[in-house]
Structure 1
C-alpha cells in the first residue's frame, strides 16, 4: 500500500521520537512500524535497503530511514524521513548540551532515559527474533549469521571485513543461470548532478567557516566532515578517535565531559553519533570568536550535525536507483542476502552489548590471545533495570502490548525512581 505523503511524514516523525537504543533499537523500531504495522515495505525490500545502508559510511539507521522514505515518495520522501529521524535527537541534544553547560545537573533527564533503556532492549530482542525467523531460512544463512556474530563478539574483527566476506560468499555460491537481465541500468552520468548538488550543500558551510577564520567553527566543520566519510561500521568504530582528537588535540572538552556527552547521546532519541553535536556545542561555546558564547555553541553544534548527516542524503539519492535495479540480478541478490545474515549477527552483537550495559553499570573486558570478551562486574548489577527489561519483554512478546505504551511506562517508572 502506497501511503500519502502527509501520513508518511507523521509516521517518520513518530519513528524519530522513538529512535532510542542505538542502531539495533532504531532498526527494530523501523522494522516494526514500516514492515509489521503499516506494511508499506515487505521483508525483502526492507532487508535489501538495510544491506546497502550497512555498507555505507555514517549512521546506518538514518540512511535506512532515508532509503525507506525514498522508496515511498522518492526525493521528498527521503528528505522528510532522514530529517525527521534526526530532528528530535538534535533538539533534545541541543537543549541538554546548553543545560549541561549552564547547570551540569541532569538527574531528572537521566532518570527518564534510564527507564527507557530496558524497554528499548525488549524492542531490540523482539526485532531480532522476528528478523531472524524471516531472514535466516536457509542453513547457509544461519551459518553466516553465527560466524559473523562470533567474528565480531569474540574476535572483534572489523565490521566492513565481515560484511565483505559475507557478500563474497553469497556471490560465489550462486550461479548466473536464469538471472533476470538488468534493463535501463542507470549510468554514472545520471547520478552526477545529484553527487555535485549534495557535495556542494555538504561542504559549502565548511568553506564559509574556514574563510571566516574566527572561533572554532572552521576546525569543527573540517574535522567532522572528515569523520562523516570514515565511520564505517557505526558510531562505535570512530568514537574513540573522535574523543582522542577532541580532547587531546583540539582541547574542546575534557575526558569526563566527553563521557558525559556519550552518556547523553546513548539515552536520547536519534543516532549515537549525535555525541558529535555535544562536542561541537562545547567547542563553539568556549571559542565563539566575536559571537556570544551561547550563539557560538548553537552555531558550532548545528554545523557539526550538518556535516555529519548531509552525506547520508548524498549516498542514498545517488546510490539507491542503482541498488534497486540490482534486485533483478541473482548473484547480487544472493550477495545481499548473505549480507543480511551477517548483519543479523552484527545486530545480535549490538543487542548483547546493549543488554550488558543496561543490566550492569560497569562492563570490563577479559581477553586471551585473539579472543576478547566483555566481562560485567556482578557488583554493579541493576536489578530495577533488569526487572523493567524483563517486564517489557513479557509485555511485548507474550501479551502483544504496543511499543509506545511499553516505552512510556518504563520511562515514567525510571523518572519516578530517580
Structure 2
C-alpha cells in the first residue's frame, strides 16, 4: 500500500458519503466511478493505487462491491465509525426511496395504469440486463477456460436446474485448483510488492466476526423468539441471510435464483414482479441488490398476521435490508486488515476469477428467464429426464412488450442512452399502449 491518504475530518467524510449515497445511480460501475471522482480526484483522500487495490479486494467478497469499497475507505480514514458512516450513507438514501416505491407498488399493482406503466419498465429491464451480460462477458471471458466455465454454468442452471449456491461454490473451488497448476487458464498475474510479512491481525478479525455475526443474527433471534419458525418473517430473514453469503457477481447474478425461490419456492411474488422490482432498483441510488428489500416488503405485506399489511411490509423490508448489509460490514471489518496479504493469495484470486466467469453464465440464465416471462403471459416447464425446458405458450406473446423491448434495445445499444432515460421512455410507452388498449 502507498499510504497516500490525505487528512480528512469526520464531518467532511459524512458530507462526502451523503453526496455519494444520493448520487450513486447507474449500478456498480457508475458508483465506483463516482467515488473515484469524489474521493481520489477531487478530495485526494486516497491514492489511485490504494483505491484500485481496495476495489480488487472487495471483488473477493460476497455482496455489493461498491458499498463495501465505501465502507473500506471510511474504515481506512476514520476507523470503525468511519466505516459505519460511509457504508450506511451509501445504503440509506436508496433504501428509503425503494421502501416508499415498494409500499406504493403493493397497493397500486392491480390498477390498470400502474400495470401499463410497469409493462414498459419490464421491457426496459430486459434490455438493461442484456447490456449487463455483454459488458461483463467482455471483461471476464478472456480465456477459453473461462468461456467454458460460463457455458457450463448456463447449462447447469437453465437445463439442469442445479442450485445457484452449488454453481458458485463449485466454480470457486475449481478455480482455486486450476490456479495452483494452470494459472494461465485464468489469466492470473503474479502480485508484486510487499505483503507477506508483518503482524497477522487475528485478534481484530476474530472480534469483528463475533460482534458483527451477533449483529447479523440479532433480528433473526427476535423473530424466532416472538413469532416462531413458521412465520414469513423467519423465512425472509433466513433466505436473505443465505443469499448474502453467495452474492458474488452483483445483483444480476443472484436475481434468477432469488426469483426462482421467491416465486416457485415461497410463493411471495409472481414472475413479472421480479422484473418490476429490478426496474425500481435501477431508478434509485444505491446498490442494485436493494431489490431484495422490494421482495421482503411484498412477502411480508401479503402474509401480515399478526400485523397490518403496511406494518408487516415495513418489518419485512427492514429485516431484509438488515440481513443483506450487516454481512457486508462483517466482511470488511474482519478482512480489511488482511488486504495486503490477500493480494498475494494466488489460489484465492483463481477462485474469484473462475467464479466471475461462471457469473456470466448465471446472468445469461437470468436474461433468458426474464425474456420468457416478460414477453409471454404463460410459460410452462417440461422435464425430459434430468433436463428441464421452458415451454412458452406462443399464443400468449405480448406484442406490446415485444415492441417496447425492441425500442429499449435500440436505445441501449444503438443510441447508448442512460438507464434512467431508457426506463422513462419505456414507461411512457407502456402507458400509451395501456391507454389505446
Following superposition of structure 1 onto structure 2, how do residues 256-335 of structure 1 map, counting pairs within 5 Å? 259=270, 262=273, 265=277, 268-269=280-281, 270-272=290-292, 274-284=294-304, 286-288=305-307, 293=308, 296-297=311-312, 300-321=315-336, 322=338, 325-335=341-351
Aligned to 1:190: 204
Stretch moving more, 222-231 or 123-132 = 222-231
| CA distance in structure 2 between the partners assigned to 1:367 and 1:151 by the alignment | 14
Maintained 8 Å contact 1:128/1:344: yes
1:410 pairs with 2:426: yes
Of 1-10 and 326-335, the range deviating more from structure 2: 1-10
- 1-side partners of 2:53 and 2:154: how far apart? 22
Distance (whole Å) between structure 1 residues aligned to residue 30 and residue 406 of structure 2: 19
TM-score (norm 2): 0.71
Q: Deviations over 1:167-201 (max 9, x none)?
A: 23322223489665534575442123333443444
Stretches of structure 1 lacking an aligned partner (at least 5 in a row)? 19-28, 54-59, 247-254
Q: Check the 8 A contact 2:119/2:430 in 1, yes or no.
A: yes
Indicate whether 1:381 and 2:400 are aligned: no
**Deviation of 1:222 (Å):** 4.0
Q: Distance in 2 between matches of 1:198 and 1:8?
A: 22
Q: TM-score, normalised by structure 1?
A: 0.74
Q: Distance in 2 between matches of 1:416 and 1:185?
A: 64
Partner residue, 1:92: 101
Counterpart contact for 1:135–1:340, Cα < 8 Å? yes
In the TM superposition, what is the alpha-carbon distance from 1:35 to its structure 2 partner? Answer: 5.1
CA contact (8 A) 1:182 1:326 kept: no
Q: Considering only aligned residues, what root-mean-square deviation do their CA atoms show, in Å? A: 4.0
Range moving further from structure 2, 164-173 or 232-241: 232-241
Contact persistence 1:126–1:397 (CA under 8 A): yes
Q: Deviations for 1:62-121, whole angstroms, at most 9, x for unmatched residues? A: x33422322443423222223344332222113333x26xxx743323322221122222
Shift of 1:337: 0.9
1:250 maps to what in 2? none
Aligned to 1:66: 67
SS at match of 1:94: helix
Aligned to 1:30: 28
Q: 1:92, 1:64 → 2: CA distance?
A: 24
Alignment partner of 1:268: what SS?
helix
Corresponding residue of 2:92: 83
The 8 Å contact of residues 235 and 273 in structure 1, kept in 2 or not, is answered as no
Counterpart mapping for 1:162-173 below 5 A: 162-173=167-178
Q: What is the rounded CA distance, in whole Å, between the counterparts of 1:244 and 1:144 in structure 2?
A: 27
Residues 312-332 of structure 1 deviation map (CA, whole Å, 9 limit, x = unaligned)? 334433455246742322222
Distance 1:95 1:341, change over 3 A: same
- Following the alignment from structure 1 to structure 2, what is the Cα–Cα distance between the partners of residues 343 and 362? 27
Aligned pairs, number: 379
Alpha-carbon contact 2:60-2:349 (below 8 Å) kept: no
Residue 117 (structure 2) aligns with: 112
Question: Which segment is superposed worse, 272-281 or 372-381?
Answer: 272-281
The residue aligned with 2:251 is none
Deviation by residue 1:319-373 (Cα, 9 ceiling, x = unmatched):
5524674232222212211111011111111112112222212221232111112
Q: Secondary structure at the match of 2:242?
A: coil
Structure 2 gaps of 5+ residues are: 6-11, 41-47, 76-82, 184-189, 248-253, 282-289
Partners of 1:65 and 1:85 within 8 A in 2: no
Which whole-Å CA distance do the structure 2 matches of 1:107 and 1:230 have between them? 36
How many angstroms apart in 2 are the aligned matches of 1:358 and 1:261? 6
Higher mean C-alpha deviation, range 385-394 or range 178-187: 178-187
Pairing 1:224–2:240 present: no
